[in-house]
Amino acid sequence: MRCTDKFYLSGRLSLGIKAGADVVSTGETKTSQENPSVPRYKKLADILQAEIESGVYLIGARMPTELELCTRFNVSRFTVRAALRRMIDNGMILRRQGSGTTVVSKSPKTMFIQKLNSIDELLQYSIDTQLKVKSASPIALDAKLAKIIGGKVRESWHKIEAIRYLDEKSPICWTDIFVRPEHRELVDRIGEDTTPVFMVIQKEFNIIAEEVTMALFAGSMTEKKAWAMGVKPGSPTLVIVRCYKDKAGRVFEVSISEHPAGRFTFSVDLLRTSNAD
């Protein structure tokens, strides 16, 4: 994938929310069932979560079907689907057409779901997270990086290694940021607040991001990155490459973010633009 590949995306932004610890393994809640203000789908999700945590449903096991849950709890299919969606967003179950619903985690995972309709909405990603720099150094592009960035082999850039956190204990991704040598002094500004790098460049050097191109693909964690992210080496990742271009079409920043499975979701809605027959 290259910086010239374009994606026009929209979606929704939300944070994975850990279900309240007000449930017991018998399927009865301590408080949520007694509280009429709690939606029925949340009550159901809390019960199913408690059953997974207590071992009623093991990792890799299939959950009951929608119809079976409707019958068991005397609720509508809409309520069941909303409850399962909540558990999917929490990273506890996975649904696949033809394969049913499978348990993939015993407890909720910290997850970030990004919405993107415009360049301005890239700001939200930074506002809701914190980037912490681990190292920075000059590099010469190898053939692989040159292809991703759209630069030339042995071209000089400045590489910044960082980890992005949802909170102090919840790393979302490992990010390698590449900026041009003349912008290397901005390293000291990264992480001071939630201002994204491309906005720091705009403020310090008056370079405006007129276009952002993105590429998404599957990858795996190297040993160095895996230990920093708290996962096993070789674990699957979602890799997102973002290339920022100025008015002349010149790339001035590239970020390569590697998200361990279950920690980030990019949600896309596709809208019909014409009434094709």
CATH of the domain at 84: 1.10.10.10
Q: Tell me which residue has tokens 């150094």.
A: 137
Given a contact cutoff of 8 angstroms between Cβ atoms, the answer to whether 91 and 109 are in contact is yes
Strand runs labelled E in 99-140:
100-103, 112-114, 130-140
Cα Rg, the chain, nearest whole Å:
22
Among residues 67, 51, 69, the alpha carbon closest in space to that of 59 is found at 51
**Is residue 142 domain-shared with residue 172, that is, in the same domain?**
yes
**Is residue 212 domain-shared with residue 135, that is, in the same domain?**
yes
**Is residue 199 domain-shared with residue 123, that is, in the same domain?**
yes
Q: Is residue 13 part of a domain?
A: no
Q: Containing domain of residue 75, as a range?
A: 18-103
Give tens-digit pLDDT for 209-245: 888 888 889 999 999 999 999 899 999 998 989 899 9
Of the CA atoms within 13 Å of residue 208, those in its CB half-sphere come to: 4
**Is residue 135 domain-shared with residue 216, that is, in the same domain?**
yes
Q: Is residue 69 part of a domain?
A: yes
Is 271's pLDDT higher than 80?
Answer: no
Give mean pLDDT, residues 136-155: 89
Q: Is residue 187 part of a domain?
A: yes
Give tens-digit pLDDT for 65-90: 999 999 999 999 889 988 998 888 77
Q: How far apart are CA 172 and CA 93, in angstroms?
A: 19
Q: Is residue 74 part of a domain?
A: yes
Q: What is the DSSP letter of 29?
A: B
Structure tokens at 180: 């041009």
Q: Is residue 257 part of a domain?
A: yes
Phi, psi dihedral angles at 165 (to 5 degrees): -115, 145
Q: Is residue 3 part of a domain?
A: no
pLDDT of residue 148: 81
Is 34's pLDDT higher than 80?
Answer: no
Q: How far apart are CA 75 and CA 232, in angstroms?
A: 40
pLDDT of residue 269: 60
Given a contact cutoff of 8 angstroms between Cβ atoms, the answer to whether 218 and 234 are in contact is no
Give tens-digit pLDDT for 155-178: 999 999 999 987 777 788 999 999
Q: Which helix (H) or strand (E) holds 269?
A: none
Q: Which of 59, 80, 103 is the last residue of a domain?
A: 103
Q: Look up the CATH number of the domain holding residue 162.
A: 3.40.1410.10
